[in-house]
């Protein structure tokens, strides 16, 4: 099988909110899909200010930790942060530096392919989260996917599937191969989910806070595909 391999590049000189100076951003998190990285830099140039960021790329472990700390966080393999096509900004700082109201900031970000989780232009929960859909026709299918919703989540999932759908769909043999890659299964990858495979699945499910059924369900399949993915090393 060909395991999921994430397409990510480093984003240089990201302005963050961390460290003693409150402007540091961890290099290991400063990664995006190449198209999103280009759009991030284009937005900075177009807005004439640096984007102050609180979150960018998340590993599976970081998603699991964030999910344990606060409500509303997507599980590993389901967040756009996992695929390098989402950013969280310091909204207050960005409104101050751009001298824009929130609806106007959202419109400006959309010019570069970044769409806020909230579609109402208001302040509140997730007003900091922006998904990368692209510009014009490139964004159309993802905007269509969330057209009937008050947020862009459905469009975000459509974006993930547009990039990696085949690699996120596993048959029984591929499930065994992914479990073997994680050193949870040492039997033959024969596509037969017997006792050893079920035991390995249950161990994986317990680790990643899934229902430990020993069965291959959609949540387990996608989480397993992501957790066993190849992630490019930092240069």
Positive or negative, the CA dihedral 161, 68, 184, 191 is negative
d(C-alpha 229, C-alpha 60), whole Å: 10
With a CB cutoff of 8 Å and minimum separation 6, the contacts of 157 are: 78, 145
| pTM (predicted TM-score) | 0.94
C-alpha closest to that of 116 among 139, 138, 98:
139
Taking residues 96-113, report their average pLDDT. 98
The model's confidence at residue 235, banded by pLDDT at 50, 70 and 90, is low
pLDDT in tens, 140-180: 999 999 999 999 999 999 999 999 999 999 999 999 999 99
Give the model's pLDDT for residue 3: 86
Please identify which residue in the block is written with the tokens 């402007």.
Answer: 23
Domains of the chain (ranges, CATH numbers): 9-164 (3.30.1380.10), 170-227 (1.10.101)
> Is 127 within 8 Å of 91 (Cβ atoms)?
yes
Give the rounded percent of residues in the chain with a pLDDT score beyond 90.
Answer: 93
pLDDT in tens, 52-93: 999 999 999 999 998 888 878 899 999 999 999 999 999 999
pLDDT in tens, 20-31: 999 999 999 999
Answer whether residue 213 shows pLDDT above 70: yes
Give the model's pLDDT for residue 1: 61
């Amino acid at each position: 099988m060909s395991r999921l391999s994430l397409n990510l590049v480093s984003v240089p000189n990201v302005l963050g909110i961390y460290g003693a100076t409150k402007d540091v951003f961890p290099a290991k998190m400063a990664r995006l899909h190449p198209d999103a990285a280009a759009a991030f830099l284009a937005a900075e140039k177009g807005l004439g200010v640096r984007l102050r960021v609180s979150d960018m790329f998340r590993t599976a472990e970081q998603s699991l930790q964030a999910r344990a700390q606060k409500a509303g966080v997507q599980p590993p393999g389901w967040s756009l942060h996992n695929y390098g096509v989402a950013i969280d900004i310091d909204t207050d700082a960005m409104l101050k530096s751009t001298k824009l109201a929130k609806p106007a900031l959202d419109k400006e970000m959309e010019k570069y392919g970044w769409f806020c989780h909230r579609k109402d232009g208001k302040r509140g929960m997730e007003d900091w989260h922006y998904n990368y859909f692209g510009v014009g026709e490139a964004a159309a299918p993802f905007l269509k996917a969330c057209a009937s919703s008050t947020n862009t989540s459905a469009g975000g999932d459509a974006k993930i599937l547009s990039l990696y759908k085949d690699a996120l769909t596993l048959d029984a043999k591929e499930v065994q191969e992914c479990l073997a890659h994680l050193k949870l299964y040492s039997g033959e990858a024969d596509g037969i989910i017997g006792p050893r495979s079920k035991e390995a699945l249950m161990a994986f499910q317990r680790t990643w806070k899934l229902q430990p059924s020993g069965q291959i369900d959609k949540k387990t399949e996608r989480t397993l595909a992501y957790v066993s993915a190849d992630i490019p090393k930092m240069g």
